[in-house]
Structure 1
Amino acid sequence: MITIPTGDLTGVLGDVIPFVFPDDDLPDLHCVRLEWDGTMLHALSTDRFRMAVSSWHPDDEPDADVQDDMFVRWGGADDPWTATLTLEDAKELVKVFKLPPKKQRVPLTLDFANEQVTVRRDRDTGYTAVRLDVPDQLAQFPDIRKLLADSDRLKPITGLMFNAKFLADFGKVRPRAPMQLSFTGSTAITHVGIGKRFLGAIMPLREGETS
């Protein structure tokens, strides 16, 4: 079990939801992958043309020593795990647990066990627990973090074209820093970084493509 501020869980999910494959005829991509690597929580998605990874680290909390947080230990001692949420379940978590801006740091717990994700928050918030079945842990979801790491060699280009709608979705990511584009070639993915905890990618249009 890990403990995370409500705003960070709904935040990482909300960051990657726009990049999920929209139709359920590709169930392996019509989903959000949650990965706890033992230290950080990552939310990941892809629609084949774009990839997105939004991450949270317990040390990201800027006010960890304030009075309200003195007895909250962010993070947890879980061994690494992965859980695949359907797009509908990911949206439901954001809808159910979303809080006003001034209450973003209300803690909740996230637990993955026995093919089930359980999210809990104190009763005084109005929601106690949501349990989601995630039995398909063998889904053919790509290793997005590895794909991004393996394609980080920058190359000079003279110009690229992008699907404007696909590129605009990166504007829905929490604006924690300016957007930075890093080019890896005229026909390879372009990296899209927003702050230190979001990294995405988008494929440029090929010559002759219009959208």
Structure 2
Amino acid sequence: MNHLQESKVASSELCKGNFLHVLRDTVSLPNGHLTTREYVVHPGAVMVVPLVEDADGQVRLVLERQFRYPLHRVMIEFPAGKIDPGEEPFQCAQRELREETGYQARSWARAGLLHPVISYSTEFIDIWFARGLIAGERRLDEDEMLDVFTATPSELMAWCRDGTVTDAKTLIAALWLQNVLSGTWKLDWLDAP
């Protein structure tokens, strides 16, 4: 696959904000030509798929409604958040679940890694499942406003199908969920420390 590799020749900073860092690199293509690549450097994030059981043993999902300014609309999503400097993804998953929903989980399973926008960002999202939820108090950031609600897996799948859910990470989580619930994909569950 070396015949596909591009090599950085030079780099310049276009923007450095509180959250995102935008670079423009000059790269040498495999055919020897030069071109530029602009991309966003992102610290990485986690997403949690929280599972709760009803009194009758049916699985429900903890989801959020949150206004996303770039799209100017309220989106349905799984709990997620940016990894802080020096924080491990699992620590971030635990923190984000507690802060955004108030829940803590007795068991956790790492599902995998998602690269949501490979064409222009270094962003990755670590995907976690959580179960054995214990309700508690939310600790939202001062500028964070969201609603927490539960839905059945079939409701989520219908929203994915009809375009109500368009968030890439939530769509990927729905794929994971569908395969986990059917028994096609296995998770290695671990008790929370």
- With normalisation by structure 1, the TM-score equals 0.21
Larger radius of gyration: 2
Determine which structure has the larger strand proportion and give its number. Answer: 2
- With normalisation by structure 2, the TM-score equals 0.22
